[in-house]
Amino acid sequence: MKKTVMLKKKYEFKMLFSRGKIFYGTNLTMYIFKNKLNVNKLGIAIGKKSGKAVDRNRIKRLIKENYRIIEDGVKCGYHILFSVNKKCQIEKIDFYFVEKEMKRLIKKSEIWLEGHEKTCNKDN
């Protein structure tokens, strides 16, 4: 993730949950909030009731890898949070399902660059 910083602080997650714009998918939910930085911040939220630690970490890796692949097509200056729905069956989620769902949510939120013309600078 060369142009993206991970969200780690509790107050950042709370701010996104309370003031972020929500986009729903079948198993993923995306929250976005415009920031004043020239870099995107990515967060991943998955509850303990979703499965065991091995399964939760696998989903986190899938989301990070898919975002890394498509991050050149995402506009700069946003906090982005992907949350996994509690009732989804984690064992059945694979790489291509996450890719399809993430692209659909990003395009739905209108932060997708069609021509990939803009680039982010990691000055901050």
pLDDT given at position 80: 94
Contacts 24+ apart (CB under 8 A), 55-64: 55/90, 55/91, 56/90, 58/90, 59/84, 59/90, 59/93, 59/98, 62/93, 62/94, 62/95, 62/98, 63/28, 63/98, 63/102, 64/1
Mean pLDDT of 47-51: 85
* Region 118-124 average pLDDT: 47
Give the model confidence (pLDDT) of 60-78 as tens digits: 999 999 999 998 889 989 9
- pLDDT exceeds cutoff 80 at 91: no
Sole residue written with tokens 């097509």: 73
Q: What structural domains does the chain harbor? A: 4-108 (3.30.230.10)
The pTM assigned to this predicted structure is 0.85
33: pLDDT strictly greater than 80: yes
Stated as kind and residue range, the H or E segment containing 63 is helix 53-70
Q: In the prediction, which pLDDT does 117 show? A: 43
56 pLDDT above the threshold of 80: yes
Distance of CA 97 to the CA centre of its chain: 14
Q: What is the pLDDT of residue 59?
A: 92
The predicted structure's pLDDT at residue 107: 92
What residues form DSSP beta bridges with 40? 4
Alpha-carbon torsion (110, 111, 114, 118), positive or negative: positive
The rounded distance, in Å, linking the Cα atoms of 72 and 57 is 24
* pLDDT value at residue 85: 86
Q: Does residue 1 surpass a pLDDT of 60?
A: no
**Is the CA virtual torsion 66, 41, 53, 26 positive or negative?**
negative
The length of the chain is 124
